[in-house]
Amino acid sequence: MTFLDSAVWGGKFCSDGWRHSPARQPVTEPATGDRLGTVGVATAEDVDRAAARAAETQRAWAATSPQRRAAVLRRAGELFTEHAAEIEDWLVREAGSVRSKAGFETGLAIGECFECAALPAHPQGEVLTSEDARWSLARRRPAGVVGVIAPFNFPLVLGLRSVAPALALGNAVLLKPDPRTAVSGGVVIARIFEEAGLPAGVLHLLPGDGAVGRAVVEAPEVRVVSFTGSTPVGRAIGERAGRLLKRAHLELGGNNALVVLPGADVARAASAGAFGSYLHQGQICMTTGRHIVHESLVDEYTAALAAKADALRVGDPAREDVALGPLIDRGQLERVHCIVTDSVAAGAKLAAGGEIDGAGYRATVLTGLTTDMPAWREEIFGPVAPVVSFSTTEEAARIVNDCEYGLSVGILGDVGTAMRLADRIDSGKVHINEQTVSDEPNAPFGGVKASGTGSRFGGPAANAEAFTETQWLTVRPDIAEYPF
């Protein structure tokens, strides 16, 4: 039996052990439409039971020694390492990842676990001064039960980056993966922590549709909701969490800019731009969605980028050596094509691509855009690179900031000019002489404006802020005297 053998999880979800479900959904390979298995679908009632059970087990888990919690996280990292090949196969077949992306994602998962293994040993507060004769402390306590709702595009790491720190800091977790990646974004995580020695009832895997997600948000025991996904869904979750007086950490969409400064190396810049726009078929919140190129380089850059796009093969990453795999489903494929064709109808020019290719989409370059065209304004979530020019750094800053999103920006070229430009940009991340797609387990990740609520994932400070509450604690040597 393999680590992810369907005999363990087929037709089941995980809540205090693997449970058979009368409702099931197929696990489908987007490149071929083949069925890879079935998973059990949870109901709102299952969520309610799981939340109550999680609240019971959380107190004992929080009282577990820091060394023991750290050991579970370290063992999880070791298990990801031991079973990396099998996990990568699932990311390729279920999520449509090319092999290099699957390896990158699994590597991030390994790093996340080892990084979070240190969290239980980090300082859990601070000593405060007090005018009274007492000790005054601000200490961090686990939030309690955390609800995690994860997307399909990087299903493993975008779920794990909330699950792992929440567990390390003494919380219980309800995990709802995207239904399209319930194995690589859910079963894998549940199996890893099961084998790592996490007590039963602390982590619950609850696949399902939007009704299950709403139940996770609304469960009274859930005190923190961690959501990664689209801005419209994030708004709805944030509104509901706000009415329930719950914290919602929302990491949402992006329409990220890559600025190519005058004098930049065009060949290297086009390579960076192609990677930023076409990695994982552009299905990344950090994808380079806008190429803003100095007027002295724009023609040369566009030609170089189009040549790169034309050379990228589209196909089935499980059976072919390709650069672009399938889009997650037919609906997303048709949406991408519609954005491209609508922009071309409005006057944009195709320099490369613009075609459906089986279950995938050809790497595309668009020029001649105006700022009101859908390919420029919208988060496409497909392999499309729109290019415009600028003449001054002031104009570049204005174009970058003229966007509802603010997640990631790359600036290529002279470092001094890039630093001055970075100071004028509204973005959660800025990468100088790199493209827009970058993530590390110890780095604060998140956006501003419509890209999120300003919360961050990654690093001890951000994780503590996300998954703990601060408690003020005072201690006196004797009972105080009062005037009443």
pLDDT in tens, 41-70: 999 999 999 999 999 999 999 999 999 999
Beta strands per DSSP E along 159-309 = 172-176, 203-205, 222-228, 247-251, 256-260, 288-294
What is the Cα–Cα distance from 97 to 311, expressed in whole angstroms? Answer: 18
What does the mean pLDDT of the chain come to?
Answer: 97
Catalytic residue of the set 285, 320, 394, 440: 285
Cβ–Cβ under 8 Å, residues 4 and 183: yes
Alpha helix segments (H runs only) across 64-148: 66-82, 84-95, 99-116
What pLDDT, in 10s, does the model give residues 178-218?
Answer: 999 999 999 999 999 999 999 999 999 999 999 999 999 99
* pLDDT higher than 90, residue 286: yes
The pLDDT of residue 132 is 85
Confidence label for 81 from pLDDT (cuts 50, 70 and 90): very high
Mean pLDDT of 79-88: 98
Kind of pairing between the strands at 288-294 and 349-352: unpaired
DSSP string, 273-303: HHHHHHGGGG-STT-EEEEEEETTTHHHHHH
What's the token pair of residue 122? 């980090």
Distant-in-sequence, close-in-space partners of 159: CB < 8 Å, separation ≥ 6:
148, 150, 175, 177, 185, 186, 189
Partners of residue 390 on adjacent β-strands: 294
The pLDDT of residue 327 is 98
Mean pLDDT of 463-473: 96
DSSP string, 81-104: HHTHHHHHHHHHHHH---HHHHHH
CATH 3.50.50.60 fits 256-432, yes or no: no
Confidence label for 455 from pLDDT (cuts 50, 70 and 90): confident
* pLDDT higher than 90, residue 131: no
Residue type, 60: A
The pLDDT of residue 389 is 98
What pLDDT, in 10s, does the model give residues 91-116?
Answer: 999 999 999 999 999 999 999 999 99
How is domain 6-252+452-473 classified at the CATH fold level? Aldehyde Dehydrogenase; Chain A, domain 1 (3.40.605)
pTM here is 0.96
The verdict on whether 251 is a catalytic residue reads yes
The pLDDT of residue 261 is 98
Catalytic residue of the set 115, 194, 251, 379: 251
Cβ–Cβ under 8 Å, residues 179 and 212: no
Degrees (nearest 5) of the Cα angle 101, 107, 112? 125
Cβ–Cβ under 8 Å, residues 134 and 474: yes
* pLDDT higher than 80, residue 1: no
Cβ–Cβ under 8 Å, residues 423 and 397: no
What pLDDT, in 10s, does the model give residues 380-423?
Answer: 999 999 999 999 999 999 999 999 999 999 999 999 999 999 99
**How would you classify residue 89: left for phi > 0, otherwise alpha for psi between -120 and 50, otherwise beta?**
alpha
| Percent residues over pLDDT 90 in the chain | 98
The pLDDT of residue 253 is 96
The domains of the chain are located at 6-252+452-473, 256-432
Mean pLDDT of 355-380: 97
